[in-house]
Amino acid sequence: MDPVELNIFASRLEAVCDEMGAMLRNAAFSPNIRDRLDFSCAVFDAQGELSAQAAHIPVHLGSMAFAMAGIVSGITWRPGDMVVLNDPFLGGTHLPDVTLIAPLFIETELTAFVVNRAHHADIGANAPGSMPVSSSLEEEGRVIPPCHLMREGVLDREQLQWLSGHNRNPGESAGDFSAQISANRCGLLRLEQMIDEWGRGSYLFGLIALNDYGEKLSLEAISIVPDGDYRFEDVMDDDGQGTLDIPICVGLTVQKGRVVVDFSGTAEQVPGNINCPFSVAAAAVYYVFRCLMPPQTPACAGTFRPIQLQAPEGSLLNARRPAAVAAGNVETSSRVVDAVLGALAQVLPAFIPAASHGSMNNLAMGSDQAGNRWDYYETIGGGMGAGGAGGGLSGRQTHMTNTLNTPIEVVENRFPLRVIRYALRRGSGGAGRRAGGDGLIREFEFLSPAEVSLLTERRRHRPWGIDGGSPGLSGRNLLDGEPLPGKASLQVKEGQRLIIETPGGGGWGLKESQSE
């Protein structure tokens, strides 16, 4: 392919993923998918290798890219099938993220897969929001092994009933599954049209060219890192079960544009739910190195060929079943990003930003009371780390998430909640030649009794600065003004107020007054 053809080919594939995302958003029932956009869409080849993805959520997409080949190879596929799963130890992330896979057959030949992954606020956990302060996988909800939701175009209604029927809002849950089915149907239609135009042989040749191009750009980008060995250590605050200051260690061995990322020295898996399946750790690593690459780099399997990953089995980043993992996807993945960035900052301080707020500041709440059954989940932004190109942005979702906030109007219309305050946390960003971004303050008043789960980080350890920049402020959780732990499960009464103050980002460089 000449460069123009290759660019058109890549753009057409990305457009398939974008249209799938638009369909999923518009058809979804829950605020979590429709308003927060907590979903991702991608196209894979017949072997389960990544071909394209939309600019959705890095932790979803990277983990799918790492593990999809192993999933699809164990299933006998027929036209019209759709397989659903959420098992974190089979390439998932955590149980609320449910994946739906559909094969595309061209001239009776399996040619591609379209895939979407969406976060369901209720996946059957006892705690509303299905993000409990858990110590085992079974506490976190319903584990869905790979199973057919559709067989040869026919919906398995018993399977759909099993997936959604026992949730707090079964109609909303079933609606979200239907939206995922619609998104895959849209992707199959658009991808089939594209392959019909190009021809199956030309399409497959295009994938080879695209992967080779992605590998070339990846090698060039990583080559800016001088050959050598670099190490960095960061820590998780706690696991919610009494284990504190849990280390994440990373070693980077760089040679001629290729890198081995080794997490030896990282803590063993812990009783709490900050453990990661290896696919989540891989997603964080892929994200960091993708950030070094130029914007035109395709999101395909070839782009990640120069990156090798190692993590001891049974460690925090390669946990064994049935370890609890609900917060590993959201919190530990964020710290893996910090650790890899910290290692790169030793030799590329002008290119690498300071630590961002380092937490998705997870808030899940709801009620099982008769006549008042509801559940809600959201992540809350914070301060972005500053870098050599500019100061950190304030009040942003950073790194491994790419969701929106839920609008106040939606929160107050759908749930017995009143949003008292939603503001920037002024002064929480770290000082420096470039200041870190400020965190957020989000304050809720409960209009009826509820159960609340908090899974938050950077409450004990501040986001670090770079090259003399100051760290950002750590976050705080408060109930009626009294401090709460970073990870907590609590019952609240009508009229009580919950305040989440998220961390600021680290600063970059010494101020001129400091350097004189």
What DSSP assignment string belongs to 329-369?
A: IIIIHHHHHHHHHHHHHTT-TTTSPPP------EEEEEEEE
Q: Regarding beta strands 258-262 and 307-310, do their DSSP bridges make them parallel or antiparallel, or are they unpaired?
A: parallel
Please give the model's pTM, rounded to 2 decimal places.
0.95
CA separation for the pair 135, 385 (Å, rounded): 32
pLDDT at 402: 84
Q: Give the residue among 341, 362, 356 at the shortest CA–CA distance from 472.
A: 356
Task: Give backbone dihedrals phi and psi of 396, rounded to 5 degrees, phi first.
Answer: -120, 150
At 516 the pLDDT is: 44
Task: Determine the pLDDT at residue 61.
Answer: 79
- State the DSSP H helix or E strand holding residue 193, giving kind and residue range, or none if neither: helix 170-198
User: What does residue 371 show for φ and ψ, rounded to 5 degrees?
Assistant: 80, -5
Cβ–Cβ contacts within 10 Å for residue 332, how many?
A: 28
Helices vs strands, H then E, count in the chain: 10, 20
Indicate if the alpha-carbon torsion angle 360, 361, 364, 365 is positive or negative: negative
> pLDDT tens per residue, the chain (516 residues)?
899 999 999 999 999 999 999 999 999 999 999 999 999 999 999 999 999 998 877 888 788 888 899 899 999 999 999 999 999 999 889 999 999 999 999 999 999 999 999 999 899 998 989 999 999 999 999 999 999 999 999 999 999 999 998 788 999 999 999 999 999 999 999 999 999 999 999 999 999 999 999 999 999 999 999 999 999 999 999 999 999 999 999 999 999 999 999 999 999 999 999 999 999 999 999 999 999 999 999 999 999 999 999 999 999 999 999 999 999 999 999 999 999 999 999 999 989 999 999 999 999 999 988 788 899 999 999 999 999 999 999 999 999 988 889 999 999 999 999 999 999 999 999 999 999 999 999 999 999 999 999 999 999 999 999 999 999 999 999 999 999 999 999 999 999 999 999 999 999 998 765 544
CA distance 377 to 124: 14
Q: Which pLDDT does position 226 carry in this prediction?
A: 96
Note the pLDDT of residue 360: 96
- Return d(Cα 407, Cα 385) in angstroms, integer: 25
pLDDT recorded at residue 501: 98
3-state percent helix, strand, coil for the chain, nearest multiple of 5: 30, 25, 40
Neighbours of 512 (CB within 10 A): 8
* pLDDT for the residue 513: 56
